[in-house]
Structure 1
Amino acid sequence: MQTTTLTSKGQVTIPRDVRQHFGLTQGMAVTFEIKGDFIALRPARASRQAQDSGFGLIKSRRKAVPADFDVASLATHAP
């Protein structure tokens, strides 16, 4: 059993060995559940919509298009 201190903002640091054991990483969502007289902390399940979607899984090797790129400049004038 390990002990940590609650900050004034209600934050705690999860010990490294606990994070590693459960695969918790920075930015990962977690859930809290009251179980009688203790609190259960678990990794949050990803939404099904995100799992069914492939959006963002493939990285392009091309350079990003500049934010100020004018799409109209690609239009050609018909004869």
Structure 2
Amino acid sequence: MSGERNGNTGGHLEPDFAQALKELARGEGAATAMENHLDALEKKIEEMLAKAEEDEEALASRPKSSATDPSTNDERKPAA
């Protein structure tokens, strides 16, 4: 932006404008960090969904007797 557009012909930015630019840059950095974090979360969610789909398909392809056999779930039950 030229100095003529904001009324400053001395080549120096006004203090308020300079501060606004600093805050804008800081906000852009925060937005980039948040986007990166969200991308990582999205990747984890996609991996979890893919694993859940694989598990569901594997469960569906098992014979019914093993899917309903209570002895296969003994490891997950807490000891009484």
TM-score range, shorter chain: under 0.3
Larger RCO (CA under 8 A, 6+ residues apart): 1
Q: TM-score, normalised by structure 2?
A: 0.21
Higher percent of residues as helix: 2
